[in-house]
Amino acid sequence: MKKITIVGITGYSGLELFRLLSFHAEAEVVAVCATSHIGEKLADAVPQFEGLTELVISEFDVDLAMKNSDVVFFATSSGVSLKLALPLIEAGFPVIDLSGDFRLKNPDDYEKWYKNTAAENVYLSKAKYNLADLTTATATYIANPGCYATATLLALAPLVQENLIDLTSIIVDAKSGLSGAGKKLTESSHFVDVSDNMSMYKVNQHQHIPEIAQQLHDWNEDFEALQFTTSLIPVTRGIFASSYVKLADSVTFDTVKNAYQKCYENKNFVRIRRQLPQIKDVVGTNFCDIGLVYNEKTNILTIVSVIDNLMKGAAGQAVQNFNQLFGFAETTGLQFMPMI
């Protein structure tokens, strides 16, 4: 049984983490931390948890966290863990960080895309970016992938790793539900602007672009860039990513299908679907569902990948990384059927 401190409990990802870990057979949440509601019972701040917990929200104290828990989860916005986590990194204390603060290897990339001062290289070098369905968590500091990055990278991995496509042809059109924007109110998150509407945002500026590009280049050094756009759709949870690529010379659709089957045949949370998946196929689960369509006339392969942004895109994958890091069965605490 591992004791856990969650930092950022009042955000959507923090609350989802608490929900998952509260019923995890090998986990006990012993502290929940935030910058608001300090001293208030979590069940009072979040009425949905009434009768389910007696935990009180506290400020984060790094010494208490290392004394009383075995691992710290940061479910904070960017710019928080790069300050609070440094003593944990120095001590080699296990951390799973859902923010973007330690995902990028190059500090200049972080400062460009996140508009903030990056952590020093000595700290960045100790963090490991871990896409849980393709690699295994081993480092004590795990940088949990972003939601858009997870959906996009799982969709493209077999193609880029096996060099099956024209690497200059990658176009990704990704759409997210409103919970992906977090709890902070903005003009664009008002009900009247979101309901019955769709809007593109952060065109060529989304902070997950360098994260995706970094991993694609790690898989194939010939990769240089992709076209990536994000849109907001009127749903609470879910990401629907449509990726379009041209197949390389002499590559057939059968070769592509075999590559996906080989890549994901023993993976618990990636399903290659016979039909194109929908967001509702994965809501409430840690699955990434992938569907493929090929147009012989244009030589364009369409890859549709769908995830629940709060599960596979955040808390679910973080728990998956937790299971890997501590040697638990990967599916522990994550065996959910989709919500209907």
* CB-based burial label for 155 (10 Å; 0-12, 13-18, 19+): buried
Q: Which two tokens stand for residue 181?
A: 């924007």
Q: What is the widest separation between alpha-carbon atoms in the chain?
A: 64
For residue 173, list its beta bridge partners. Answer: 229, 242
58: three-class secondary structure by DSSP:
strand
What is the SS3 assignment for 218-251? HHCCCCCCCEEEEEECCCCCCEEEEEEEEECCCC
Cα 149 from Cα 207, distance rounded (Å): 10
Give the Cα separation of 24 and 32 in Å (integer).
16
CA-CA distance, 329 to 200, in Å (whole number)?
Answer: 39
Tell me the three state secondary structure of residue 323: helix
Q: Using CA atoms, how far apart are residues 316 and 307, in angstroms rounded to an integer?
A: 10
The token duo for 285 is 């689960």
Residues marked as catalytic: 147
Q: Cβ neighbours of residue 96 under 8 Å, at least 6 residues apart?
A: 71, 72, 73, 74, 142, 144, 318, 321, 322, 325
How far is 11 from 4, CA to CA, in rounded Å? 17
325, containing H or E segment: helix 316-326
DSSP class per residue in 95-147: EEE-SSTTT-S-HHHHHHHH-SPPPPHHHHTTEEE--TTTS---SSEEEPPPH
